[in-house]
Amino acid sequence: MPDVCPYLEYRQLEAETESGDAADAQPRAYCNAAEEFVQAMRADICNGRYGLDHETDCEIYREAEGLPEGVESEGGGGD
């Protein structure tokens, strides 16, 4: 069972489509520490997928917990 981030919850995203029709939309990952919906790749960290761990790999969690930042890096899109 993956170790899920305690700040993670799933919420409905407003304005799911261009038409605003969110009737069929699935809830998606929301970070209560950052107070925003998280990117797809960040949700893998929150959910502990692929060997990722929010305690070591998520700068948002670490900042919220007052842990040292460690190495910083920022990527773009297009994976």
Partner 1 sequence: MAYDDYLDGEKVIVTAALTGGVHGKEANPNLPETPEEIGEAAAECEAAGAAVVHLHARRDSGERSFDRDRFQAITEAVRSRTNLVIQHSTGGTGATLEARRQSLRTDPAPEMASLDMGPLNRYRHLTSENTRGMVDSLYDEMVERGIKPELEVFNDGHLNEVAALLDRRDLADPVYTTLIFGGGTTSPPSPRNLLNATENLPEGALFNTLGFGRHQLPLTTMGILLGGHVRVGLEDNVYYGPDQLAESNAQLVARTAGLAETLGREPATPDEARDILGL
Indicate the residue among 1 and 73 with the shorter CB distance to partner 1: 73
When binding is defined by CB under 8 A, the residue of 57, 64, 65, 66 that contacts partner 1 is 57
The reply to whether 34 sits near partner 1 by the rule CB under 8 A is no
Question: Which is it for strands 28-31 and 36-37: parallel, antiparallel or unpaired?
Answer: antiparallel
- Both tokens assigned to 62: 């670490």
Indicate the residue among 66 and 77 with the shorter CB distance to partner 1: 77
DSSP characters over 2-61: ----TTEEEEPPSS-STT---TTPPPEEEETTTTEEPPHHHHHHHTTGGG--HHHH-HHH
The reply to whether 16 sits near partner 1 by the rule CB under 8 A is yes
Residues binding partner 1: number (CB under 8 A): 41
Q: Using CB under 8 A, list all residues that contact partner 1.
A: 10, 13, 15-18, 26-29, 36-45, 47, 49-52, 56-59, 62, 69-79
